[in-house]
Chains A and B, each alone.
Chain A
Amino acid sequence: MSHDSSPSPPDLPGRRPLIAFAWLWVGAPLAYGLYELVRKATQLFTG
């Protein structure tokens, strides 16, 4: 396995809000999907 460094230079602090926004954009609906999944999966033990 190679372990060469990232092709990008160190992240600029100014990018951090954008990174947070981007992860929230995809994370929020995914969290909703996971919540619904867990609700359904618990039926295996309670149903």
Chain B
Amino acid sequence: MSPPVAPPGWSRWLVPPAALSVHLSIGQAYAWSVFKPPLESALGLSGTQSALPFQLGIVMLGLSAAFGGTLVERNGPRWAMTVALVCFSSGFLLSALGAASEQYWLIVLGYGFVGGIGLGIGYISPVSTLIKWFPDRPGMATGIAIMGFGGGALIASPWSARMLESFGADNTGIALAFLVHGLSYAVFMLLGVLLVRVPRTPGAADGSPAPLEGVQVSARSAVRTPQFWLLWIVLCMNVTAGIGILEKAAPMITDFFADTSTPVSATAAAGFVALLSAANMAGRIGWSSASDLIGRKNIYRVYLGAGALMYALIALFGDSSKPLFVLCALVILSFYGGGFATVPAYLKDLFGTYQVGAIHGRLLTAWSTAGVLGPLIVNWIADRQEEAGRHGSSLYGMSLVIMIGLLVVGFVANELVRPVHARHHVSAPAPKEAADVPRQQPESA
């Protein structure tokens, strides 16, 4: 499939909704927990077993983004969105079959393996195209799309819950819910497939895509540069610090104020978790857009430096002031979201737009690593502290200090980022390779 080049007069404001239709759909993955209790009771599964489709899905997200990125660059965004649509929707359809026939392995294979490929390819599918359409505001453009990934769970969580209430939580009801999800997401994502276009050369009669200009680095060369690995550390540390709060948000706020005159109820803790999701989403669009004005390196200084300060405030004064605790947690989560959304633009600044989607895909392995590291640190330390007889806010003291340390490591890595050496630059890619290439000015980090 050749990349779809925009006809004359095509608006670049049609590209963000195309990207959003994909990201709002695949963001459903974070609402998988809605299906866990019904699956456990209908198919007699343990909590660990019912988490398998989600876990495999996230593993496949990382793998397909890392290994499929070059294919996405070569074949263009419409091909990638089509693959994402087919995989994500057929994952649900296979799961419907699995639930109806009480074959759980089909749900794991469908949602986890097949659907997971859709997650990874879908996640990176619009990134480079958006950057090419918005060379003046790449942070804002990718922020809109990546905000959609956060928004997907907000939509799916109540929607799926209401569907299960209507259809019933037995295996037939779950199968029907999976079927409706698969068909609905196919229709919803179709908008992206139909609308997405790559920019054409201004004034070109043949409608050819825009030519390559400025500093450009291939994905293969990028992973051999220190800049790639420094950014890998930056992303990994920032995400680990965010997940550290996100993973234990509800028990954390409850424990912090358990011994005070104003303890936090379970309902209020659920409200706190929802508020964190809002901060995460707002950070994706807000901070990423701000990076267009103050620069990528500076915004990561804020995420990592001010993030460490917020953690320090929680560690020192968190249990004495609820508003301070909530405010610091919200800022940390907004930095977490901002870190995700700003990284494609940072990659574009360093490596150009030639294969920025593929490079972004490879960088997402930092996310997978952080997804393991963050919960591991917080849970392991909290368990050890509990065994040692500690309670309340002292359960988290050590975790908070470790998070500050991780953010400082990320801050130092960000300081070490320099423009990529000229020996890694691509001089003149072949026309086929350049089919999905940009027209923009290079920026220094």
Residues of A bordering B, CB below 8 Å: 1-12, 14-15, 18-19, 22-23, 25-26, 29-30, 32-34, 36-38, 40-47
Contact = CB atoms under 8 A, between A and B. Distances in A.
Interface of B: 6, 8-14, 17-18, 20-21, 24, 132-136, 148, 151, 154-155, 157-159, 188, 191, 195, 199-200, 202, 210, 265-272, 274-275, 277-278, 292-293, 295, 326, 438-443
A11 B9 contact: yes
Contacts, number: 133
Contacts of A10: 9
B136 A6 contact: yes
Given A22-B18, A40-B274, A47-B268, A6 B155 contact: no
Contact of A43 (B14, B18, B268): B268
A7 to B, nearest CB: 4
Nearest first, the 8 closest Cβ-Cβ pairs linking A and B are A47-B267, A43-B271, A44-B271, A33-B154, A2-B441, A12-B9, A33-B155, A47-B268
Given A36-B154, A43-B270, 13 more contacts: A5-B136, A6-B134, A7-B199, A15-B9, A15-B11, A18-B11, A22-B17, A32-B155, A33-B155, A34-B151, A36-B157, A37-B278, A41-B275
Contact of B12 (A4, A7, A40, A46): A7
B12 A6 contact: yes
Given A26-B24, A43-B268, A4 B278 contact: no
B272 A7 contact: no
Contacts of A18: 11, 14
Contacts of A33: 151, 154-155, 157-158
Contact of A25 (B12, B17, B151, B266): B17
Contacts of A25: 17, 21, 188, 191
A14 B159 CA distance: 34
B36 to A, nearest CB: 18
B59 to A, nearest CB: 26
A6 B136 CA distance: 7
B272 A11 contact: no
A22 B14 contact: yes
A20 to B, nearest CB: 10
A10 B202 CA distance: 11
A30 B154 CA distance: 8
Given A25-B17, A25-B21, A26-B21, A43 B136 contact: no
Contacts of B210: 7
